[in-house]
Structure formats: C-alpha cells, structure tokens
Amino acid sequence: MKKVNLEVNGKKVSKEVADHTVLSVFLREVLNLTGTHVGCDTSQCGACVVHVDGKSIKSCTALAADLDGSKVTTIEGLVKNGKMHPMQEAFKKEHGLQCGFCTPGMVMSAIDLLNHKKNPSDKEIRDWLEGNICRCTGYQNIVAAVKEAATKM
C-alpha cells in the first residue's frame, strides 16, 4: 500500500491505495469522480484524459503513487461558480457529442491544445485529437466545438 497525496480539482486528498492503482481507478473508485471515463484501458482511446500539473495525460496509464504531490484537474473541476467551462459550452452549442462517452477526454484534451495554441487550424485540432477516439464518428462537430471555444478562451 502507498499513501498518495494529490490536489484534485483544488481539494487536497490523501488516500492509502494499492501500489498498482492507476489514476483513473483512483479518481473513479476511490474519489467517486466518475466523469473520467475508461474505454480501452490501454492508453489508446483517450476517454480518460485528465490534466496533471497542467498537462493532459491518459489517467489509465499513470500510477497514482507515481503522481504523488501533483495537481490533477478532471472534467468535474471545470465548472466555476455553477458555470460551464467555455469548452463545455462550445461542445453543447456545436453538438460536439452524440453518446457522450468520449466527451470528458475530448474536452480535457482540447483545453490543453488551446492552452498551447490560441487559434489552431482544423488540421492542428485534428492532429492534436489523434489520441481521442469517438465511436459515434462525431469528429466534424468536435472540431467545430474546439474552434468555437477558441473564440471564447
């Protein structure tokens, strides 16, 4: 067992978990933050993307113990004062989702892109979302949503 100290969505948490606990399991099963989804569980689909110390990573492929001391932001941490994040608003406005399973990962990944690049081109958005798979084939509207968010962020 390992004691893991993290700051998750601005709150300090300290939990004792099995050494092989990955961050996605820590978030979902220990903290009950089920907004982070697990699709493939082998770092291909991107449904589990969260931010660790400001960078997007796949939470299914990082050990919680390894991230001790880090700041984690999940999809639940985006709402501020009851207001959705501009990226969430844009996904809603542009119908950037169908079933919604991939959406938390898409939103977290897309925010990381806009943190690096203010006005990405369609190609840059598509290249960036390489690691996020949408099985409803909703990519067209996802790209439109990211472009819309870029005008607001």
Partner 1 sequence: MKTFNYHSTKDVKEATKLASSSSAFLAGGMTTLPSMKLGLASYKDIIDIKRIKKLSGIKVSGKTVTIGATTKHAEVAHSKEVKKAIPSLAALAEGIGDPQVRNRGTIGGSIANNDPSADYPSACIALNATIHTNNRKVSADKFFTGMFETSLKKGELIEAVEFQVPEKSCYKKYPNPASRYAIVGVYVAKHKSAVNVAVTGAKSCVYNDQNISGALSKSFSSSALDNVKISSSGMNSDVHASADYRANMVKIFAKKAVEAC
Residues that bind partner 1 (CB under 8 A): 2, 18-20, 22, 41-44, 46, 49, 55-58, 61-63, 65-66, 68, 109, 112-113, 128, 130-132
Least distance to partner 1, CB of residue 56, Å:
5
Instruction: Select 20 or 83, whichever has its Cβ closest to partner 1.
Output: 20
Angle at 34 between CA 31 and CA 131, to 5 degrees: 115
Instruction: Select 41 or 76, whichever has its Cβ closest to partner 1.
Output: 41
As given in the structure block, the two tokens for residue 131 are 């690691």
Least distance to partner 1, CB of residue 69, Å:
10
Instruction: Select 40 or 79, whichever has its Cβ closest to partner 1.
Output: 40
As a whole number of angstroms, the distance between CA 137 and CA 98 comes to 9
Least distance to partner 1, CB of residue 143, Å:
16
Among the listed residues 111, 20, 117, 99, the one whose alpha carbon sits nearest the alpha carbon of residue 74:
111
Task: Report the half-sphere exposure of 69 (CA within 13 A, side-chain side).
Answer: 1
Instruction: Select 34 or 61, whichever has its Cβ closest to partner 1.
Output: 61
Task: Report the half-sphere exposure of 119 (CA within 13 A, side-chain side).
Answer: 1
Least distance to partner 1, CB of residue 125, Å:
12
149 DSSP assignment: H
